[in-house]
Amino acid sequence: MIALLSMAIIVVAASTRLFLGPLLYFLTCVPAFVLFTVLRRKAAYISLVIAPLLPIIVESIALLTGNFRGGFLVGDIVCLVTALLGLGEERPKERMIRRLGLSGRESRNMVRSLFYTFGRVERIEKVNMSQSYAMVHEGSFHFSVNIPGSGRVNMEIPLCDIEEVAVHQSTSSGDLYYPSLRDMFLPARNIKLVGKPRIQDYFLVVRVAEDAYTFYEEPKTVLELQEEIERERELSVRSKQSPGEPPA
What string of DSSP letters covers 180-219?
Answer: -GGGGTSPPTTGGGBT-SEEEEEEEEEEETTEEEEEE--H
Q: Calculate the dihedral angle through the C-alpha atoms of 171, 176, 182, 184, rounding to the nearest 10 degrees.
A: 70
Q: Which of 41-45, 90-94, 149-153 has the lowest mean pLDDT?
A: 149-153
Would you say residue 122 has pLDDT above 90? Answer: no
Would you say residue 191 has pLDDT above 70? Answer: no
Handedness of CA 225, 229, 235, 236 (dihedral sign): positive
Digit-coded pLDDT (tens) for 230-239: 988 888 777 7
CA distance 85 to 90: 9
Q: Looking at residue 30, what is its pLDDT? A: 93
CA distance 159 to 9: 43
Helix (H) or strand (E) holding 224: helix 219-240
Mean of the pLDDT values across residues 81-94?
A: 93
Mean of the pLDDT values across residues 119-145?
A: 80
3-state class of 88 per DSSP? helix
Q: Name the burial class of residue 122, with classes exposed (0-12), middle (13-18) and buried (19+) by CB atoms within 10 angstroms of its CB.
A: exposed
CA distance 44 to 47: 5
Would you say residue 97 has pLDDT above 80? Answer: yes
Distance of CA 88 to the CA centre of its chain: 9
CA distance 189 to 113: 23
Q: Looking at residue 24, what is its pLDDT? A: 93
**CB–CB of 40/88 below 8 Å?**
no
Q: Name the burial class of residue 182, with classes exposed (0-12), middle (13-18) and buried (19+) by CB atoms within 10 angstroms of its CB.
A: exposed
Would you say residue 189 has pLDDT above 70? Answer: no
Would you say residue 181 has pLDDT above 70? Answer: no
Residue 67: pLDDT band (50, 70, 90) is confident
Q: Looking at residue 190, what is its pLDDT? A: 53
Tell me the CA distances in angstroms from 237 to 134, 158, 159, one per residue in order.
Answer: 21, 11, 8
Structural domains in the chain? 2-99 (no CATH), 111-240 (2.30.29.30)
